[in-house]
Amino acid sequence: MTLVYNPFTFETQHNPYPVYTRLRDDAPVYHNLDLGFYALSRYADVLAAHKDPVTFVNSEGVTLEGGEKGQNFLILKDPPEHEWHRKIVSRVFTPRRVNGLEPFMREFCGRLLDPFVREPGFDAVEQFSIQLPLAVIGELLGIPESMRQEVHHLADRLFTRDETGTVSEDAAAAQMQLGILLFGLVAERRNNLGDDVISLLITSEITDDAGNTWRMSDEEISYRVLEMAFAGHETVARLVANGIVALTWYPDQRRELVADRSLLPNAVEEMLRWDAPSHYQGRWTTADVTLHGETIPADSRVILVTGAANHDDRVYTEPGLFDIHRSMDTIVSFGYGVHFCLGASLARLETRVAFDELLNRFPEFGIDESGVERMRSSNVRGLAKLPVVLPTGP
Ligand code: HEM
């Protein structure tokens, strides 16, 4: 049967794993002529491409549709410029600042989950997995509480794609609105500095190789804030929901976690591997690349299929099985190398806390499969609705 891989079709999004197996085994350098892209799907090839940001660049866009090209996001910068911009953000994104948020995360989980203790169920996405990271990134960046739901709804619209992958007028309008909202916030914060990441970005200086010292403009800061605001909550939200599905399908492992929380960090790694929230990273080649006897010409769109690499049986035994005891050297769910996710430690902490607090209150839960809905996006993979069913009565 002809092998067709189109990440935009809802059928592929529903269950991409069979086509990923065929890509890895039969077409490790897959070429989709209609959509004009190549796909690398084996773990070793994806990792090697991440390690070569000179041949595989980000500046032409990191999605298949490439609608973000030309915008001022950190993720779209190539070395050496990328290095300076990344330094300035990572300087304010310290482990101390991230870890200091744990008490807030726990208290906020309580606020979200306690009202459901005697309820028959809740929507684990809209009422939990979105709200936690949205509040956390809001606290960190300094986005007022009153603005956060709007940020979330605009980010949802911005990420939505139909089966053609076209960036709709609505998605473009949502990004514009989000940009205006956050630009206004940055401009206002300039006159009213606080202890948040926006204020720190406003006051941070950086010196480049040539000895020039500069500060970011409001426009640049707004792009950083925009990027962290949506990257910071959409992905964690999907990871937590995908993890809830895993623990419903594998109840023995859920019981093990209930009994022994020291298993949680590795369980979070397995959730990241088993159904990664970001299923591919887009690149553009600056030179010919020959792999497995095939040549990808310079100036080609290539996608590194993270979701396929994470299920490569050349690296992982029985990759389709969810196993919280799996020992793993690396996973590519946060990328690798120069663009490695800036929020990885924050995301890991949030997910660990989310499950710790969830299992404290609800050691048993199920899912109402009839109410599950998937979000429709280019490369963010996860659920839009996940009705969790709680046991009733004694
Ligand atoms: C489970 C949650 C998350 C996942 C799966 C995830 C995934 C990723 C991936 C795969 C990349 C690399 C993209 C590439 O190579 O093209 C990345 C980069 C990035 N992520 Fe995350 N991310 C998550 C959470 C976060 C959070 C919480 C933040 C908030 C600060 C964040 C901010 C960023 C930024 C700013 C970059 C660009 C870094 C650069 O280009 O230097 N992410 N993320």
Give pLDDT tens digits for 298-326: 999 999 999 999 999 999 999 999 999 99
Closest residue to atom 31 of ligand 1, CA basis: 343
Please tell me the pTM assigned to this model. 0.95
Type of residue found at 30: Y
Q: What is the rounded CA–CA span in Å between residue 154 and residue 230?
A: 9
Cβ–Cβ < 8 Å for 224, 201 = yes
**What is the residue with the minimal CA distance to atom 21 of ligand 1?**
341
Q: Can you give the pLDDT at residue 82?
A: 92
Q: How far is CA 308 from CA 5, 251, 341, in A?
A: 12, 25, 19
Residue range 29-35: average pLDDT?
96
Distance 136 CA to ligand 1 centre (A): 15
The whole-number pLDDT of residue 81 equals: 87
From the CA of 224, how far away is ligand 1's center (Å)? 12
Q: Looking at residue 392, what is its pLDDT?
A: 75
Average pLDDT on 119-130 reads 96
Q: pLDDT band for position 128 (50/70/90)? A: very high
Ligand 1, residues at Cβ distance < 6 Å: 58, 62, 74-75, 86, 227-228, 231-232, 235-236, 239, 277-278, 281, 333-335, 339, 341-343, 346-347
The atom of ligand 1 lying closest to the CA of 133 is 27
Q: Where are the strands (E) in 102-212, listed by range? A: 121-123, 206-207
Ligand 1 centroid to Cα of residue 154, in Å, is: 19
DSSP class per residue in 276-342: -SB--EEEEESS-EEETTEEEPSS-EEEE-HHHHTT-TTTSSSTTS--TT---S---TT--GGG--T
Site to substitute for ligand 1 among 46, 342, 346, most atoms within 8 A of C-beta: 342
Distance 343 CA to ligand 1 centre (A): 6
Q: Between 392 and 37, where is the model more confident? A: 37
Give Cα separations from 282 to 65, 277, 312 (angstroms).
Answer: 9, 15, 19
Determine which residue's CA is closest to atom 37 belonging to ligand 1. 75
CA of 2 to the centre of ligand 1 (A): 34
Tokens coding 247: 């623990």
Q: Which atom of ligand 1 is nearest to the CA of 351?
A: 1
DSSP code at position 78: P
Structure-model confidence comparison of residues 362 and 215, the more confident one = 362
The stretch 20-39 carries a mean pLDDT of: 97
Q: What is the mean pLDDT of residues 135-157?
A: 91
Atom number of ligand 1 nearest to Cα 76: 40
Q: Which atom of ligand 1 is nearest to the CA of 346?
A: 27
Average pLDDT over residues 268-278: 97
What pLDDT shows up at residue 65? 82
Residue-level pLDDT at 147: 92
Query: What atom of ligand 1 comes closest to residue 338's alpha carbon?
Result: 41
379 pLDDT tier (thresholds 50, 70, 90): confident
In the numeric block, which tokens belong to residue 350?
Answer: 């949030």
How far does the centroid of ligand 1 lie from the alpha carbon of residue 62, in Å?
Answer: 12
Given a cut of 60, is residue 393 above it in pLDDT?
A: no
* The most confident of 52-66, 86-100, 201-215, by mean pLDDT: 52-66
What pLDDT, on a 0 to 100 scale, did the predictor assign at position 144? 93
Per residue in 147-202, pLDDT (tens digit) is 999 988 898 888 778 887 777 888 889 888 988 999 999 999 999 999 889 999 99
* Alpha carbon of 380 to ligand 1 centroid (Å): 11
Residues 198-257 pLDDT 10s: 999 999 887 777 888 888 888 899 999 999 988 888 899 999 999 999 999 999 999 999
CA–centroid distance, 334 to ligand 1, in Å, is 6
User: Is the pLDDT reported for residue 361 higher than 60?
Assistant: yes
Higher pLDDT, 272 or 205: 272
pLDDT at residue 394 is higher than 60: no
- Per DSSP, 77 falls in state P
Q: Mean of the per-residue pLDDT values for the chain?
A: 93
Element (H, E) at 44: helix 43-50
Note whether 236 and 131 are within 8 A (CB).
no
Q: What is the pLDDT of residues 61-85, one digit of tens each?
A: 998 887 788 889 999 999 988 988 8
Residue 23 Cα to ligand 1 middle (Å) = 25
Both tokens of 241, joined, read 């929901």
Probe residue for ligand 1, chosen from 341, 342, 345, 355 as the CB with the greatest number of ligand atoms within 8 Å: 341
Q: Which residues contact 290 (CB under 8 A, 6 or more apart)?
A: 296
Say what the pLDDT of residue 340 is: 97
Q: Are 376 and 160 in contact (CB under 8 A)?
A: yes
CA of 1 to the centre of ligand 1 (A): 36
